[in-house]
Amino acid sequence: MDWGWYAMVPWAGRVKNGMINDKSGNEFLLPVDWEPPHAEHGYGFYSAWEKTSATSSRLEMPAPYSPAVAEQRFEVKGNSVHWSLEYSANGCEIPAWLGFHPWFRTQLEKGESAIVEFEADRMLVKGLDVMPTGEYSSPKPPPWDDAFTDFKRLPTITWPGAAKVSVTSPAPWWVIYTEDPVGVCVEPQSAPPDAANLGITGEHHIEAVFTFS
């Protein structure tokens, strides 16, 4: 999915062929309906969240992640939005990692097209199946649909003559997406796409601040 704002939970990005193992070695097939053959972006983007307050909502995970739950919160302060996401496994042994999928139009009603800028030391190499191989390289030129880590400067999106969005997060991984001429994404994640199959673990909490100017 390349559009919309949503929380990615209990996995962020793609899971190769939808296959994932729990801690005991049991194998599970995740939904691959959206963009086969891989599982896309978790349950958070197409599930109905239960509103728990004016600023928070809760999601009970379906099988095989049941009885895990997730909660997201939003806080608006001035020209900034603070978004946080928490996952509670509640005994579920399937690996989980989290992310945010904020999507922005490439072209606004005024100003020039969006420019995404950041500095990172490494990115994951992708195979022909668009999945990360586990190997790393120096960042390549755009367009991107890639996972980056070891950031020196976190992403900004600028529409010259119109607006700017700065995104800050302690997340160790970010997926930057600029391949679509209609919109761009800067996605903080606690682990990269297909993390469980790459042997990479991710925290069960993530937060980010989006500052508009």
Q: Given this model, what pLDDT does residue 89 score?
A: 99
Domain that holds residue 178: 6-116+157-212
> What is the chain's alpha carbon radius of gyration, rounded to the nearest angstrom?
17
What's the whole-model pTM score? 0.95
What the block records as the tokens of 126 is: 């992708």
Q: What is the domain count for the chain? A: 1
Domain membership flag for residue 36 = yes
pLDDT score recorded for residue 179: 96
Please list the rounded mean pLDDT of every run of 10 residues in the chain (213 residues).
84 98 97 93 94 98 98 98 99 98 97 98 97 98 98 98 98 98 98 98 98 98
Residue 145 lies in a domain: no
Q: Is residue 124 part of a domain?
A: no
| Assigned domain for 105 exists | yes
Rounded CA-CA distance 208/31 in Å is 27
Q: How many angstroms separate the CA atoms of 183 and 185, rounded?
A: 7
Residue 152 maps to a domain:
no
Cβ atoms within 10 Å of 52's Cβ, excluding its own: 12
**pLDDT for residue 34:** 85
| HSE-up (13 A, CA, CB side) for residue 19 | 9
pLDDT in tens, 46-91: 899 999 999 999 999 999 999 999 999 999 999 999 999 999 999 9
Q: What letter would DSSP give residue 42?
A: B
In a domain, 177, yes or no: yes
Flag whether 126 is in a domain. no
Give whole-number Cα distances, 186 to 24, 58, 106, 118, 133, in Å.
34, 24, 12, 10, 21
Q: Distances from the Cα of 197 to the Cαs of 25, 86, 98, 191, 208, in angstroms?
A: 12, 22, 15, 11, 26
d(CA 185, CA 199): 25
- CB neighbours of 26 closer than 8 A, spacing ≥ 6? none
Question: At 179, which CATH number?
Answer: 2.70.98.10
For residue 143, is it within any domain?
no
